[in-house]
Structure 1
Amino acid sequence: MAANLSPRAALVNGARLWQCRAIMRLPALLPAIAALLTLLTGAAAAQTTVFPAQTGSAGNELSVYSSLDNDLAAPLIQAFQARHPDVLVRYRNLLTGDLHDRIVAETQSGEGTADFAFSSAMDLQIKLANDGFARAVETPDTAAWPDWANWRDTAYALTFEPAVFAYHKPSFAGRAPPATRTDLMRWMAEHPDQAQGRIGTYDISRSGVGYLFMARDQELYPDIWSVVAAMGRAGVQQFATSGELLERISDGRLAVGYNLLGSYAAEWSRRHPEVGVILPRDFTVVVSRVALVPAAARRPDLGTSFLAFLMSPEGQTLLSQTLRLSAVSLEVAGQQSPAGGMQDLAGLRLKPVPVSPGLLAYLDQATRAKLLARWNEAIAGH
């Protein structure tokens, strides 16, 4: 019968036979496929950079897990090694979720984990500390550290990053840009032709820091949903990253960016003078990158030494210069231009997100779903 099939039918039958044989062989292939996926996922999620010891390492190896990009981390590590030339540093750049999960998995396996963890996901870092995956450590600067930036000596805020308005300077030539949420609503109402489709913010369903900023806005500002609804009527555009927003503000596709992470906005403004940055005058939410020494660290002494360096005046000054942020250290903050040179903090209502178990509420799935639903309703004008 096969000999009577048309060439097309024979081809179809042959394809079906190949599919059936492939499906039958699938169970035997699954382990190899799983191993390959693990390898590929691990390679994509973790970038490891080795900073050799300056005087030769005799087993002194510091392992760091961090969400900070390598080019920003390098000067911090090199300055630490100038103090500790016999220490090799193995730096793994991880996504914030992967950083948390890796520390948990490695601790539970008993194999030991990183000696120092530094992440922009405040909530996940506090979860590690709250769940017993961080150890209490004291440094020479612990006693003077602000209360809001230290939870039980297990989790320390090391940076001071405000949520800002960024704006396209040429679009506001001859008039002041919005400096409060009320100003923003007034500008959208009085200049609909200039505002329509030219307001941007984070997509809070995809941006962790965007979600955290909006959650804090909701807690601090009863009329926040009127602001969101007004942005929705003006055709607000949502993006997952700061870079996407700032690129569009630079070329004028967007006139205003709402609740951008100040560290990125300040650095972008330095390199692109057409972008202006304002810390809101009604209130300014401040988030931080949080550091801890894992309980299962293989070299907790080295992890503590690196933490002590980043909390020291030298480390805080370097963090400020590298990330263009205000220092958490009150000693250093009083000697530097605030907020990476954005503007004077005097007179602002600063609202830092405390390093505390209160952050765990942001991880609750029901709470998250409720906030996202409210956001989508307001954006849609309901």
Structure 2
Amino acid sequence: MPRFSFHIHATDGRARTGEITMARGSIRTPAFMPVGTAATVKALRTREVEASGADIILGNTYHLMLRPTAERIEKLGGLHKFMGWTKPILTDSGGYQVMSLSALTKRSEDGVSFASHLDGSRHLMTPERSMEIQRLLGSDIVMAFDELVALPAPRETVEAAMQRSMRWARRSRTAFDQGGEHAEKSALFGIQQGGLDERLRAASASHLQDIGFDGYAIGGLAVGEGQQAMFACLDYAPAQLPENAPRYLMGVGKPDDIVGAVQRGVDMFDCVLPTRSGRNGQAFTRDGPLNLRNARFAEDLAPLDAACGCPSCTGGVSRAYIHHLVKSGEMLGAMLMTEHNIWFYQELMAALRSAIAAHDLTAFATRFLARYKARAAS
């Protein structure tokens, strides 16, 4: 089994379907990674996540370094053993959470000093520390440490953050390569930055390719720019990255975001939306999102989505029952909704892979989006 390989099996326009192969298993692309922020995909057991068709999950460096700490997880045998997940795990670098959740953040060339959102304790996150944490966790795919800028922002701010991210990418590469046995078994992805500026994105991509990574992420999107602007960026950003490496769009997104991004050449996704929505009464369906808190579902005996293969939809669980659970604040409601949403996302990815292989992606996307948007319920 190779340490890391990526093979494209078929293309349709700019879209690709393929497979990443690693020691802990294969990842079919395009792939959606359920987010397991604190060593758990919220409301689900790992066997339920695996049953949905997920080949890989995401763990969060920032949250795990604070609680229970990366050192404790390493002592207990690593993140896979700790949470009972045997397939690949990608860990983000912690950069997004450091910027968005932490109080009293101070950036410097060395890294980011921040106060924990849990207890106010002070920490310094550097590229070297990020690589160390991800090594202690035993991540299969490690993300380089970068600096995130919320959009809109002045060009000079975006450019400065991009340039610093490239310097941090090189430091991440050096620190990762010094990781001994972990570096020999895992992969490192670089993160393209540059906001919505095509020239800055091109410069970032060039820097990253000079350093050399196993895969490349498109960072700095889904941070306030809106879908139209994001798609305009994706019209050029994926093509600036190596064709023979996976392209990962970080933090995206809604089902229609994913379909549009796949059409533009993206291979990997992650987002908290299916789990967060499940805990808040929203189900994703082929007919758009449903708000199960709505009184119109109180006597609706239909499943959430008649075409869904999840245990609830195939097992006779009705919208009326889930409406009752959600309105009553019963934890089972969040569990059933989250499981359904994760299944919906994995079935969408499987359908996209099949459509690309059949050279039918445009027709599939047109049908899916027309139905998804036509009867969307609030």
Answer with 1 or 2: which has the greater Rg: 1
TM-score in terms of structure 2 length: 0.24
Higher relative contact order (CA 8 A, sep 6+): 1
TM-score in terms of structure 1 length: 0.24
